[in-house]
Structure 1
Amino acid sequence: MQFTARQFAPSPHWLAAARTFTRDTLRRWNLGHIADDAATIASELVANAVQHVQPEPGTAPQPIWLALDRRDTSVLCIVFDTSSTEPTLHTPAPLSETGRGLVIVQALSEDWGCNIEVEGKLVWAQISSACR
């Protein structure tokens, strides 16, 4: 089993940094065959977190954590943010430009969910590491 985590400070480059961190980590773990799907999932979960931790005027933006936890037959992609708002899966309108993130996460993962914690929430997705 392997574990790594990275804190992302507020930046216009959050999503690209999350994708790069995820791809590079999975390639180091010899899981390159799931790196693109995992990077997409990480990007969608981080995008959701960024949307929900918008700071109040005059306060500093809160960082977001992205963790990757390698299990026997899967990898957990975990995003922590300080919001207690649970993500909700819904079907976006056909011409909507937003609202597809969790639909994508659900399609690419074996399972996903959310755990509310005292300081915020953990949103996670489990990705099979079996060769396809």
Structure 2
Amino acid sequence: MTLFAESRDTPQAARKMVCAALEDWALGALVDDAKLCVSELVGNVVHHAFPDDGLAVPGARRRIDVTLRKWPKWLFLAVADEDSSPPMFPLGENFSPELVGDLPEAVLPDAGRGLVIVQRLTDGLWWSPEELGGKTVFCRFDLVGRVLDGPA
């Protein structure tokens, strides 16, 4: 699905597409996690991605491509944009999850929290630069051993 960063309904359209596909594939138990992940990834494009010089067209809208692929053992979610800057993946735990609730908000990181959420909800998170510019951020849900036909 191709979306545009400047459209107000872009995150909602991405969530609806993910929800519809997962329900069609009898993967209802993954709907909530996958919708949150696509929201975070699309939101990162909307707020942080700007086309590379070679891809930038004055006055053009910023393109976002959302792809879902199901394999027997995995579900892949990919979000591509026209900015080849690497995403700011979390490198490790800054704070113990048990302590975060006790820390003042000013101490917690201002950026990168969305990718921490995606990292925690998925079984794999990575990115790849595109040959002509831009990048794709991928996440993987392992299907083996999950209850997959739960309520959406």
- Which TM-score applies when normalising by structure 2? 0.74
Match of 1:87 in 2: 87
| 85-94 or 103-112, larger mean C-alpha shift | 85-94
Cα distance in 1 for residues equivalent to 2:10 and 2:107: 26
Looking at CA atoms only, which structure, 1 or 2, has the larger radius of gyration? 2
- Residue 128 of structure 2 is aligned to residue 115 of structure 1: yes
Identity, % of aligned pairs?
Answer: 31
Coordinate RMSD, CA, aligned = 2.3
Match of 2:11 in 1: 15
Match of 1:3 in 2: none
**Corresponding letter in the other structure for 2:140:** Q
Q: Structure 1 residues 119, 39: closer, same or farther in 2, change over 3 A?
A: same
Match of 1:45 in 2: 41
Match of 1:102 in 2: 115
Cα distance in 1 for residues equivalent to 2:64 and 2:109: 30
How many residues matched? 126
Cα distance in 1 for residues equivalent to 2:109 and 2:86: 24
Q: CA deviation at 1:87?
A: 0.5
| 30-39 or 46-55, larger mean C-alpha shift | 46-55
Matched-pair contact (CA < 8 Å) for 1:26–1:32: yes
Cα distance in 1 for residues equivalent to 2:31 and 2:7: 23
Greater relative contact order: 1 or 2 (C-alpha under 8 angstroms, separation 6 or more)? Answer: 2
- Which TM-score applies when normalising by structure 1? 0.84
Q: CA deviation at 1:78?
A: 0.2
Judging by fraction of residues, say which structure has more strand.
1
Q: Structure 1 residues 95, 123: closer, same or farther in 2, change over 3 A?
A: closer
Match of 1:131 in 2: 147
Q: CA deviation at 1:47?
A: 0.9
Structure 1: unaligned runs, 5 residues or longer: 1-5
- Residue 21 of structure 2 is aligned to residue 29 of structure 1: no
Cα distance in 2 for residues equivalent to 1:78 and 1:93: 32
